[in-house]
Amino acid sequence: MKKFYVTTPIYYINAAPHIGHAYTTVAADVLARFYRHRGTAVHFLTGTDEHGLKIEQAAKEAGKSPQEFADAVSEKFRQLWKHLDITFDDYIRTTEPRHEDKVQEIFAALIKSGDIYKGHYSGYYCVSDETFWTEKEAPPDHKTGKRLCPNPDCHRELSLVEEDNWFFKLSKYQERLLAHYKADPDFLSPKHRGNEILSRVKEGLQDISVSRAKVKWGVPVPNDPEHTVYVWFDALLNYVSAASGCDDIWPADVHIVGKEIYWFHAAIWPAMLMAAGLPLPLKVFAHGWWTVEGQKMSKSKGNFVDPYEITREFGVDAFRFFLLREMPFGNDGDFSIKTLKIRYNADLANDLGNLVSRVENLIDANMKGALPARSNPEKDFYPKQVASRTAEYAACMERLDFSGALGVIWSVVGQLNERVNSEAPWKLFKSKDPADHEKAKTLLFDVVWCLRIIGGWIEPFMPRKMAEMQARLGVRQYPDALSAEDVLQGKEKGIGKIQKGPPLFPRKT
Ligand code: MSP
């Protein structure tokens, strides 16, 4: 059985990981957990991109060899993923022999087939973006005369490159790419970002340089050791090299990437795969970018948000939740502690956390923690109605609409709060009429069951808190949460009793 294969970009190791890297990796983890929860076998790949001029220079500045430098920073990424409960199945580093060998194998095969050929390159190069630019794409600045990187988020000065190097026949694949985009409209997602790619490919494609003559820190070109493979050609192949030797992984089901590297993944990468005769990934999804308090994160501004700082204050689960709740996946958004706090207090401390505390306290005070049986187990069985929204939730998750999925969940949380407020079980328990007590018990029974189900839906986003919530609601022993389906099918592994505890999400002031 083919596994569901999800990937993140492999991150450059010139600097420590920040919230932007965490965003993509958390999203991929949420998707991986969602599929695993459903019983699908998953292969989740992340890793680090370690070659190229940018790394060579960063290592030099740090007074280390590129490999020493790569070892240290790659480890920082790994540690952060551990801290954020990222459940990757494989972690690839482009300096590993399994990857370098594959790059050389494919490069040699494409030389043989004529898709890679020797030529002369004259143009401009952005070291920070590791991107080639033509004279036309990067005209001289009218004031300074300098050529700057056309990427609006970069704008660094370009260096002139004049060298004989190897080219990939990207131009040959224009028609096939267009035909593929047409035949499979979901391949490029979301639509608005796909459309940008489509019009750029329609404009025509030029062959691209795929080796560097003067860069030492890279994979040597087979039989031409003066050249190293262009770092993007090398890096993109990680998705295949990590899957090689296993027949249940490739093609990827989804590559999740940031919008700034969509061109590489949506045009160059599929053309490379076509040239290599390999199947294409099923979907390439480009999400948007976070700014921080209205500003782009940058070295000069020194405003990189450190995930450790945020999780120290808000916890890992709330951080994971916020990233995917706050901005629709695919759009851009702004990060600030203020919005995080507002979201935390509203959604987590109030809506969900208070609801859990209320039912726990009521059951503890009035029923000594035992959840009574419903007097009529079938009549208006509210948890079934709630569970019927699983399909809606799952459809959002399948199309990577994480904020949509959380929207479905929080609309149910809202309904539960309304029911509790309007039926006021604390009053019903004080009534002398036994029917009122029955009504209160039925309400609590329903809310507990709904929360157990919701815990299954939220698990991919907040695995620790949901395991804790389900354990306290008597349905599960720490450490894993149950899926909504498991809850409804009565796969109880917990002690059945409701155990009240401290607030799940203590309010932040
Ligand atoms: N090494 C290349 C990718 C090669 S993949 C074959 C690279 N690395 S990177 O370290 O620069 O990471 C870029 C990725 O980090 C983005 O595509 C995105 O996934 C994530 N982000 C970095 N900054 C970000 C924001 N400010 N906002 C959201 N995500 C961003 O490019």
Is residue 302 a part of any domain in this protein?
A: no
Show the tokens assigned to 39: 């019983």
pLDDT of 492 above 70? no
Is residue 299 a part of any domain in this protein?
A: no
As for how many domains the chain has, the answer is 2
Of residues 438 and 485, more confidence is placed in: 438
Lowest pLDDT segment from 152-156, 195-199, 227-231, 471-475: 152-156
Q: Which atom of ligand 1 is nearest to the CA of 288?
A: 28
- Find all residues with CB under 8 Å of 274, minimum gap 6, and list them: 173, 176, 177, 280
* CA 40–ligand 1 middle distance (angstroms): 27
Average pLDDT, the chain: 94
Choose one of 237, 253, 287: the last residue of a domain: 287
Choose one of 269, 287, 305: the last residue of a domain: 287
318 with 216, same domain? no
pLDDT of 495 above 70? no
282 with 343, same domain? no
C-alpha 303/C-alpha 491 separation (Å) is: 47
282 with 320, same domain? no
Which whole number is the average pLDDT over 387-392?
A: 94
Is residue 14 a part of any domain in this protein?
A: yes
pLDDT of 284 above 80? yes
- Cβ-count burial of 193 within 10 angstroms (0-12 exposed, 13-18 middle, 19+ buried)? buried
Confidence of residue 298 (pLDDT cuts 50, 70, 90): confident
**Nearest-CA residue for atom 8 of ligand 1:** 11
Is residue 390 a part of any domain in this protein?
A: yes
Select from 11, 230, 327 the residue to mutate for testing ligand 1; criterion: most ligand atoms less than 8 Å from CB.
Answer: 11
Confidence of residue 478 (pLDDT cuts 50, 70, 90): low
283 with 318, same domain? no
* CA 152–ligand 1 middle distance (angstroms): 15
Which whole number is the average pLDDT over 463-468?
A: 95
Compute CA distances 469 → 363, 457, 474, 504, whole Å: 15, 12, 9, 8
pLDDT of 15 above 90? no
270 with 396, same domain? no
pLDDT of 210 above 80? yes
pLDDT of 168 above 70? yes
- Cβ-count burial of 337 within 10 angstroms (0-12 exposed, 13-18 middle, 19+ buried)? middle
pLDDT of 372 above 80? no
CATH number of the domain that 253 lies in?
Answer: 3.40.50.620
Q: What residue ranges line ligand 1, CB within 6 angstroms? A: 9-12, 20-21, 23-24, 49, 235-236, 238, 257-258, 260-261, 289-290, 297
pLDDT of 383 above 70? yes
283 with 333, same domain? no
pLDDT of residue 118: 96
Rg (CA), the chain: 26
Is residue 300 a part of any domain in this protein?
A: no
Of residues 400 and 479, more confidence is placed in: 400
pLDDT of residue 120: 92
Is residue 236 a part of any domain in this protein?
A: yes
How crowded is residue 476: how many other Cβ atoms within 10 Å of its Cβ? 26
pLDDT of 406 above 90? yes
Range(s) of the domain holding residue 413: 313-488
Which whole number is the average pLDDT over 334-360?
A: 97
**Nearest-CA residue for atom 29 of ligand 1:** 20
pLDDT of residue 371: 85
Is residue 507 a part of any domain in this protein?
A: no
365 with 404, same domain? yes
Confidence of residue 70 (pLDDT cuts 50, 70, 90): very high
265 with 364, same domain? no
361 with 242, same domain? no
C-alpha 425/C-alpha 285 separation (Å) is: 46
258 with 394, same domain? no
pLDDT of residue 332: 96
CATH number of the domain that 402 lies in?
Answer: 1.10.730.10
pLDDT of residue 64: 96
Which whole number is the average pLDDT over 3-26?
A: 96
Q: Which atom of ligand 1 is nearest to the CA of 290?
A: 27
Show the tokens assigned to 350: 């109030």
**Nearest-CA residue for atom 7 of ligand 1:** 11
pLDDT of 44 above 70? yes
88 with 217, same domain? yes
Q: Which atom of ligand 1 is nearest to the CA of 11?
A: 10
Is residue 305 a part of any domain in this protein?
A: no
329 with 233, same domain? no
Of residues 425 and 376, more confidence is placed in: 425
Which whole number is the average pLDDT over 206-231?
A: 94
